[in-house]
Amino acid sequence: MLGGCYQGAFSLNNHTLMEYYVYQHRAIDTNKIFYVGKGKGIRHADKNKRSRYWKFFVEKHGFYSEILKANLDEDFAFLIEKEAINIYKKRGIKLVNLTDGGEGCSGYSHLHTAESKAKMSASQIGNTNKNGKTLSAKSKEKISKAKLGKHLSIEHCKAISNGLIGNKHTAKLTDDEVRFVRTNKNIMTHIELGKMFGLHKNTIHKIWRFERYKDVI
């Protein structure tokens, strides 16, 4: 199925787009708008780093992209993205955006805070990598246990996978994803939402009844 087709008056090959732009995605089969985003370069046509709901929707309907407004600085692009999402929602257009826009990182780049860098650095301690760091005894033990799983049969692996569906430790949702599940209670079935987020259908009902993620409003 086709995906990421570009329509509009701007040519990416000629680099006529400036730094940032606001774009929207339409379903190939229905031509309906289902997503609004902000990006630069070829972000509008890229399938990488999308939400599970976006991928679920595109797998079913396909997509093509349209540039709404180009030649923007990042702050202005965020504002237009947020305004477009707001207008579409008021018109009753169902979007797969998990947030109301106006936040996030640009394309694939992400500026890490000093605290984040420190945590990432600490998490690498004990690894053997190109920097020459060595594995700790505890890490080696974990890797050894993990490798045991490679000798399991396909049937055994499937049984383990099925048993983990709905486990809060393997399919933990973000606050925005929880809100999305609740907001779409009367739009999507518990089975569809379960497949989308890797949860058991009964877990979806528990989220709807606030038996799970009680603190997320």
pLDDT of residue 96: 93
**pTM score:** 0.48
Mean pLDDT by 10 residues, the chain (217 residues): 43 53 94 94 91 91 92 91 93 90 52 52 49 60 53 58 50 82 83 84 89 86
pLDDT of residue 151: 52
Residue with tokens 């630069």: 40
Residue 210 DSSP class: T
CA separation, residue 35 to residues 26, 55, 77, 137, 181 (Å): 7, 11, 15, 47, 17
pLDDT of residue 34: 95
pLDDT of residue 16: 43
pLDDT of residue 107: 42
Amino acid at 92: G
Domains within the chain, CATH numbers bracketed = 3-90 (3.40.1440), 144-210 (no CATH)
Give 3-state DSSP helix, strand, coil % of the chain, rounded to 5: 40, 15, 45
